[in-house]
Structure 1
Amino acid sequence: MLEIPLAGRPAPAEESLGDVAYRVIADRLITLEIRPNQSINETQLSAEMQMGRTPIREALRHLEGDGLVVSYPRKGTYAAAVDYADLDEIGLIRQALEPMAAGLAARTVRGEAAQTFHKYLGIIGSLDPGAVDQSDLMRLDLAIHQLIYRTAGNRRLEETLVRHANLWTRILGLSLERHPLILEQLNDLGMVVSAILDKDEERASDAMAGHLARLSRFIRSM
């Protein structure tokens, strides 16, 4: 496994058991280890994560709010379905907001964020197409996007984009099962990161807009 965070959302400075459960379950949902429409067994998750059912239930409530699971009275909790019809609505939000986030990140990047961007560029450059796991590549893609959102320095913008990027990635994951493109996607995203590190706001914004437009065309072609 690559040295990258779980998919979902960044870990808070002080994690509760509910936070840990959220991140583990979200990662499985986003990378499709838990398939769309699959039943989610609280008892099984509790045993696997060696924690009580209360933090599992807390995590599932948050995941339902994020659109990743659905609960039905007397039936239980299930991974949310993936609807390709959502692609256009999610894409409009990302295409409107992410170029702005990339530009803001280029304006403010420094310190630990810059170091992490350099680290991710190094990982992209060293990837072995024949050896890397696709789930890890999806996690890397999300980690880079999340770092861009966080570096932009607008909490509400970050929350909105994290949620929609997670939903988008589930759709992307199903597309990649039929026609892998993830390495090309990451190299494309690397151009955004390079512009951010160069503190070139306009180039970072334009590179992100182009990256999302090409990715949207790829998913629609499936």
Structure 2
Amino acid sequence: MKKSIGLLFIIFFLVFSNVIVFSQEKPDALKSYRIGRDLEVQGRMSDANARYDEAVQICKQEIAQNATNMDSYTVLTWALLRQKKYNEVIEWAQKGLKVNPSDYRVIETMGEAYFYLNQYDFSLKNMQKYIEAAPNAERVSVAYFFMGEVYRIKQKYNHADIAYSTAVRLEPNMPVWWYRLGSVREALGDYAGSLSAYERAVKLNPSYKEALDGADRVKKRLG
């Protein structure tokens, strides 16, 4: 009888111990990052930054344990980008690309960071590399938009027109992108094409003042 009770106690102890172990959720950097994005969309930037900080710390711990984990470099650079820590994005992206030079996720994020640091040639190079490596990836439309931004800033309006046009074809619901397309077409003297783009921006965002002004401006040009 005593042996049976003792055996039951041991079994209960082992089962209970396993329940405790499995109930402790493993830190998930991607989950923290996504919660941060949701909070940012809600305008709760302070709470979002706390989640981004959490994601950053988890990723750094993961990299310390396994310096070849590209998922950790990816989420780390995403979180740092949301916090506008662009130099840190570049630093960690370069470390990650030493492990895997063709990781397109890190390449694209680094391209965005270079853009915000006004290093447009590097940004353009990374976006082109990203598109070549992953032409059907999730952020290809974003890459084309940033290419359009670089070309617009460099006043290469024909190139910008092509890049923006591709971006809105892939993702047609971004009013800012349509506005940018309208602006470069206006600069090229393509007033009909410009009006079409401005009007699409206004359709998506009826209170978009710059697009409304642009549409009125080119309508006068068209007579």
**Which interval holds the TM-score relative to the shorter structure?**
under 0.3
Higher fraction of helix: 2
Greater C-alpha radius of gyration:
2
**Structure 2 length-normalised TM:** 0.25
More strand by share: 1
